[in-house]
Amino acid sequence: MPSPRAVGARLVAGVDSSTQSCKVVIRDAETGALVRQGRASHPDGTEVNPDAWWEALQVAIEDAGGLDDVAAISVGGQQHGMVALDESGAVIRDALLWNDTRSAGAAADLVAELGAAAWADATGSVPVASYTVTKLRWLAEHEPHHAARVAAVALPHDWLTWRLAGQGPGLRADLTALRTDRSDASGTGYWSPDRGDYDRALLTRALGHDAVLPLVLGARDSAGVTAGRWPGVTLGPGAGDNAGAALGLAMVEGDVAVSIGTSGVVSAISAVPSHDASGLVSGFADATGRFLPLACTLNAARVGEATARILGVSLEELSHLALSAPAGCDGLVMVPYLEGERTPNLPEATGALHGLRLATATPAHVARAAVEGLLCGLADGLDALRAQGAHVERLFLIGGGARSEALRQIAPDILGAPVLVPPAGEYVADGAARQAAWVLSGEAEPPTWPMAGVERYDGSPGTRHTGPEIRARYAEARAAVLNRP
């Protein structure tokens, strides 16, 4: 039930607790109009003390003007991160994030033990180093003293929702009060989107023993109310970041989102679950009761950042340089596996430049090769979704990387379809806010919020034929990379 303050209140809050920062938007529950917003930074690294997320959330809420006039709040967050809690509710060790690949060996072992097809059938996905289940196996093998203390396992958004409800060490610490949603549970590796249940045998196989897991709520169920500084605000179930963005974009069947943030993600709304034994497509759930087949690359916006740093230019200058080079970069190819890779599953791989000659050793060629390499990886993901039966009618280009004019102009040629670019926004946080409004309304479907200012990019007529050629050369180059020393 909505909290008492919901009576007469019209504002909702949405949170995006991402890898790099925490963003909070306050919106009108009926119209979706943005009222105010705030943000705070997260520390760098692939393992982080969750207290840093909690502190950033407090700062971001304060920066957004607080919650005194807000009726409901939902938290969207980075997926897969392992938050291990002891029986007192204390965090046992720093959380291992989705982009921490130390569990690559554990992932390979888990797949070998049961077979890829069995994992895909049980959970919709084949485990890779990103998934929570692999991090639990790593913990059991490398830090058994920590694994033995694990009483509950949460994900970043679950843990923040729990903290907002007044739970935590030194406060109340009811581990059975942990709540999550289908979308985030589907990225653990021990919950089935198809059957809607945890597979505790898989959890025990990874961790070595059973543990408390968050109750999985329905799309418009309440997770309780807030306590502490801003009490009485209705809590939504929250969502994983990709499902949150899909909800923020009001995606429906036939829509595909291409998100370029810390990771690169291609995701589609589907009415049926997927079970891809190849591991290219993760069979996740969405935040509306449907499904969200998804292909993810570890390397996205940071490819541009790293290339700009190498060239000594700003991101805007990098975009100008890329557009000044010819399509295909005269054969120069960047394979941007700067942090290993998830799709394809090459956690130990490193990046490479192929086709470097005197003629291609220019800042412009390198800049464009970075953009084309990033997009080729995403195009491979789009092909994998189509192979799983995804119907593609519209492509949305979102995320921080989508602000690049070069990326917008080159994307249609590489992805093979026109792209729609919504106005720059915090779509994960917007999706969380829309979910909060949905919880308040109790209606069968989420509220309809208008979206204006969408730009369409069709590509350059003179370069459309080069897209398949660029992708073919990239496919040849990606087979020739070195593993990290």
Give catalytic residue positions: 241
Q: Give counts: helices (H), strands (E), the chain.
A: 15, 24
What type of residue is 64? A
Spatial separation of the C-alpha atoms in residues 310 and 5, rounded to whole Å: 52
DSSP-based three-state secondary structure for 398: strand
Q: Which amino acid is residue 48, in one-letter code?
A: V
The single-letter DSSP state of residue 264 is: E
Q: Assign 3-class secondary structure to the chain.
A: CCCHHHCCCCEEEEEEECCCEEEEEEEECCCCCEEEEEEEECCCCCEECHHHHHHHHHHHHHHCCCCCCEEEEEEEECCCCEEEECCCCCECCCEECCCCCCCHHHHHHHHHHHCHHHHHHHHCCCCCCCCHHHHHHHHHHHCHHHHCCCCEEECHHHHHHHHHCCECCCCECCHHHCEEEHHHHCCCCCEECCCCEECHHHHHHHHCCCCECCEEECCCCCCEECCCCCCCCEECCCEEHHHHHHHHCCCCCCEEEEEECCCEEEEECECCCCCCCCCCCEEEECCCCCEEEEEEECCCHHHHHHHHHHHCCCHHHHHHHHHHCCCCHHHCEEECCECEECCCCECCECCEEECCCHHHCCHHHHHHHHHHHHHHHHHHHHHHHHHCCCCCCEEEEECHHHHCHHHHHHHHHHHCCCEEECCCCCHHHHHHHHHHHHHHHCCCCCCCCCCCCCEEECCCCCCCCHHHHHHHHHHHHHCCCCECC
- ∠ CA 447-20-175 to the nearest 5 degrees? 70
